[in-house]
Chain A
Amino acid sequence: MNLNNLLSEKRSVILKKWCDLTLQTYPEESQSFFRKKDQFANPVGHTISEGLASIYEGLLEGADVGRISEFLDRIIRVRAIQEFSPSEAVSFVFGLKSIIREELGSRILQNGLSEEWAALDARIDGLALLCFDIYAQCRQKIFDIRVNEVRKRSHRLLQMAGLSYEISEDNENNKDNGDLQEDK
């Protein structure tokens, strides 16, 4: 018996609890809607339930960070623009630790799997750190979009008035080499 066997055995119970816990962060009136199974009528619920399942599988299979990040990204990308503080947006990850403790804690100890358990906890902590990165990237993207939108709106007029020129991608790359270009 190893920890993965236990996690596979309890997969559906743990996943359901994890999904419930995550959906509980939404207003009470909307939780039943977010449980509806339609990928296109309910993108938030679908993203969360599919995403959590894939992340769980990934943890079990020891999937690489890229694959797990992809599903974390889908969930965080949505929560980063919803009514949450940054800590609220990523809190669902920690919930998995409590659920595993509730569901499997005693059996893990009975089977002497505390080493594996500690390793799993460390990986979940790792997920949380990834979430911080993704959350920050999402927020940064929103700010970039806002700035670029203003630029795009007036770009043609400035171009016409001879007040703007574009920095080509080559020059953009040169910037990294310390070759700074000034915008007009």
Chain B
Amino acid sequence: MAVIPKSWNVPQPDVLTKKIDHGPASMGLQKGWMSTTPVQIKEGMHCHAALAKNLKTVGMPNPRDWSVMGDDWKLPENWKEIVLDGLKDRLGRFRSFQLFMDICVRCGACADKCHYYIGSGDPKNMPVLRAELLRSIYRKNFTLAGKLLGPVAGARNLTYDVLKELWYYLYQCTECRRCSVFCPYGIDTAEITMMGRELTNLLGLNIDWIAGPVANCYRTGNHMGIQPHAFKEMIDFFVDEIEDVTGVRVDPSFNRKGAEILFVTPSGDVFGDPGTYTAMGYLILFHQLGLDVTWSTYASEGGNFGLFTSNEMMKRLNAKMYAEAKRLGVKWILGGECGHMWRVINQYMGTMNLDVAEGSKMEDPVSPITGTKFENAKSTKMVHITEFTADLLRHNKLKVDPSRNDHLKVTFHDSCNTSRGMGLFEEPRYVIKNVCNHFYEMPPNTIREQTYCCGGGSGLNAGEDMELRMRGGLPRANAVKYVHEKHGVNKLACVCAIDRAVLPNLMEYYVPEVDVTGVHEMVANAMVLDGEKKKTVDLRGEPLPGKEDSE
């Protein structure tokens, strides 16, 4: 058979397809995965290391500038002791963590459910194997079988290489919990990742895409480090844009004491397109309702990258919401479209920061427009904006003309956190179906509880890990492509600021015909406002088909 001359120094095609080295194989008795260290850390597959200044701002250990690609990660001398002590401490404090370390029978139900695995085929992106990287250290140091039998019992020593491999894959998990849905034992892999990441933080091994926003949030209240005056100026800017489009001048208030409601949303809505159009949607909604609501330039961020750092950091950054609600004397808090913000609120806030809310004027949330009492928000005093708007629509308190969105064929991406973290499925769909005439669901195994991650959650939406994001986002993009080809879908709606930052890029790569929108952008575009001028363009300034100016 003909071959390419050796002197050309290029690989032979038939060799190429057969001998690509992905590292030692077999997960069976040989436990090939245990000997794959040192891990090959690749460009495009990891985020940059946390800067010393960002760790210093919040007093995290071992602040120094280091490089992920460098051989020396500049760890403290007793790093091993720190990790093992940290592991022991967490096993004692969190019973769920201890259980998750012990009860996995490696049935493999989770193995092919992770978006990173589905998109890459890298066995260590199987949730079970990713967790085994940590479990093997646990077994070696905290179980009798592991101590005695070592590798036969799936145990291995904590070495520098093992730590690097563990780190690499802990930061290739978006804590989306899709795998947990399929686990017959209910193991929450996201919590294993969270614990693993807490351990890396004891050594100063965070990524800067998380550490930066954490430090900024701590200093100024939001991820971007925007100061109060700039936050207000940005929203004032929206007020002008809204007037240009609708002819109506909205009049938001800031830090207003005595307001009935405090509104908190991710800062991505205020500073990053296309979230900005969703923020304009909120402003229009509040104005039309005459809602007694105030924005805060201090609680100017709903997002909480503390969740991806440690539970203590999450609590610390979250406290501002209740502190501000108390300071302003509001009755309850309304929350914008965000993903992980809602996991923190729905699962943790009501208990972890209750002491901050003590002595405040907060009550069980009641919609001032419909009188609906949000029983589900009793413990947190915080209502999701799609719950609020769905209730308005249900009671016919919002005048909308869905035909204004007739040029849109919409599908809805359930965010991991709002779906698996709080069970918010119907409200966003109810809102969308009331403001749009053309709505199409993606296939059942890609939505609701089984929704696929955008590929950039849990602090992994940096620029430098774009390949990782494209692998992880592939299953989601694939489902969008399907509804685009089948129904002509051209809008992907979501209720998460990280989705709004990540999905447009994912679409640009896989399905460029589909654009991304927040739900309240579409709500505002459909709303019929008192005193509005004839609308010819939407909030993005794009012409509304059939409504063009005849002049």
Q: Give me the interface of A with B, judged by CB distance under 8 Å.
A: 21-22, 24-30, 33-34, 36, 38-44, 46-47, 77-78, 81-84, 87-88, 91-92, 94-95, 98, 101, 138, 141-142, 145-146, 148-150, 152-153, 155-157, 159-160
A151 CB to closest chain B CB (Å) equals 10
Nearest CB of A to B280, in Å: 12
How far, in whole Å, are A156 and B241 apart by their CA atoms in the complex?
A: 13
Known: A24-B18, A27-B23. 6 other contacts (CB 8 A): A22-B17, A40-B446, A81-B119, A88-B11, A94-B16, A142-B466
Query: Which B residues touch A152, using CB under 8 A?
Result: 272-273, 504
Q: Which residues of A contact B482 (CB under 8 A)?
A: 39-40
Given contacts A40-B446, A91-B17, whether A82 and B463 have CB atoms under 8 Å apart is: no
B474: Cβ under 8 A from any A Cβ: yes
Find out whether the CB atom of A40 lies under 8 angstroms from the CB atom of B272.
Answer: no
Q: Please provide the 7 A-B residue pairs with the shortest distance between their CB atoms, ordered closest to farther.
A: A94-B13, A30-B121, A91-B16, A43-B478, A27-B22, A81-B470, A28-B25
> Given A157-B271, A160-B234, are A82 and B509 neighbors across the interface (CB < 8 Å)?
no
CB-CB nearest in chain B for A159? B237
Let me know if B529 is at the binding interface, CB within 8 A: no
Chain B contacts of A26 at CB under 8 A?
Answer: 20, 22, 121
Q: Are B118 and A81 in contact (CB under 8 A)?
A: no
B230 within 8 A of A: yes
- Give B480-522 interface residues, CB cut-off 8 Å to A: 482, 501, 504-505, 508-510
CA distance A75 to B482 in the complex (A): 15
Q: Which of B200-236 contact A (CB under 8 A)?
A: 224, 226, 230, 233-234
In the complex, 28 of the A-B residue pairs with CB atoms within 8 angstroms, ordered by the A residue number, are: A24-B18, A25-B17, A27-B122, A27-B123, A33-B111, A40-B475, A41-B118, A41-B475, A43-B474, A43-B478, A44-B118, A82-B119, A82-B121, A88-B20, A91-B11, A91-B17, A94-B17, A95-B13, A98-B14, A141-B509, A142-B467, A149-B463, A149-B501, A149-B505, A152-B272, A153-B271, A157-B224, A157-B234
Q: Is A142 in contact with B118, judged by CB distance below 8 angstroms?
A: no
Interface residue? B536 (CB, 8 A) = no
How many angstroms from the CA of A33 to the CA of B230 in the assembled complex? 51
- CB-nearest residue of chain A to B270: A156
- B118-A42 in contact (CB<8A): yes
A residues within 8 A CB of B18? 21, 24
* A92: min CB distance to chain B, Å: 6
Answer whether residue B445 sits at the interface, using C-beta atoms and an 8 A cutoff: yes
A contact residues around B122 at 8 Å (CB): 27, 30, 83
Which residues of B sit under 8 angstroms from A155, Cβ to Cβ? 273
